[in-house]
């Protein structure tokens, strides 16, 4: 248990689309699972594998969102896609640092959480609002 404060899913996180909400819920559950599963006895290799799982899921999720934006010809598509690329780039960099013992897992979890709380609530919601 790392003990970052992981919020429980709340309706205020909803973007108003079931498919995307389910993906966001799952993303949050992966962060929670990572936070709960790791303690000082956990091997760094295993932690790295869990981080890889989160990274793969984030890629999948971004692909889903971008396909939906393409489908609805969202005006903010390019900007949003760029934000996704920046998040993936940053988390990849942090995972590499973790592998080299240069980053604390607690900081990575903090980063994933702030991504969830800011990107999801602000940027993802903006797209779904535009569909109304
Ligand atoms: Fe999202
Ligand atoms: Fe997004």
Q: How does DSSP assign 12-77, residue by residue?
A: GG--S-HHHHHHHHHHHHHHHHHHHH--TTS-HHHHHHHHHHHHHHHHHHHHHHHHHHHHTT-TTH
Q: How far is the CA of 3 from the centre of ligand 1 (A)?
A: 24
**Other Cβ atoms within 10 Å of 73 Cβ, number:** 7
Which-ligand-closest: CA of 80? 2
- Any idea where the domains of the chain sit in the sequence? 17-130
Q: How far is the CA of 62 from the centre of ligand 2 (A)?
A: 6
Q: How far is the CA of 43 from the centre of ligand 2 (A)?
A: 31
How sure is the predictor about 106, in pLDDT bands with cuts at 50, 70 and 90?
very high
Of 41, 132, 34, 9, the C-alpha closest to 91 is 34
In this prediction, residues 55-71 reach a mean pLDDT of 98
**pLDDT tens digits, residue range 6-46?**
999 999 999 999 999 999 999 999 999 999 999 889 999 99
Q: How far is the CA of 20 from the centre of ligand 1 (A)?
A: 7
| CATH homologous superfamily, domain 17-130 | Hemerythrin-like (1.20.120.50)
How sure is the predictor about 64, in pLDDT bands with cuts at 50, 70 and 90?
very high
């Amino acid at each position: 248990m790392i003990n970052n404060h992981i919020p429980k899913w709340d309706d205020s996180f909803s973007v108003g689309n079931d498919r995307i909400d389910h993906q966001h819920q799952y993303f949050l559950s992966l962060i929670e699972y990572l936070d709960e599963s790791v303690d000082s006895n956990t091997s760094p290799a295993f932690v790295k594998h869990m981080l890889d799982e989160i990274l793969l899921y984030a890629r999948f999720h971004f692909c889903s969102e971008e396909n939906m934006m393409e489908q609805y010809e969202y005006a903010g598509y390019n900007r949003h896609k760029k934000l996704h690329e920046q998040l993936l780039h940053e988390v990849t960099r942090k995972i590499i640092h973790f592998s080299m013992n240069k980053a604390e897992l607690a900081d990575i979890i903090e980063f994933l959480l702030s991504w969830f709380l800011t990107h999801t609530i602000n940027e993802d919601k903006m797209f779904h609002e535009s569909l109304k």
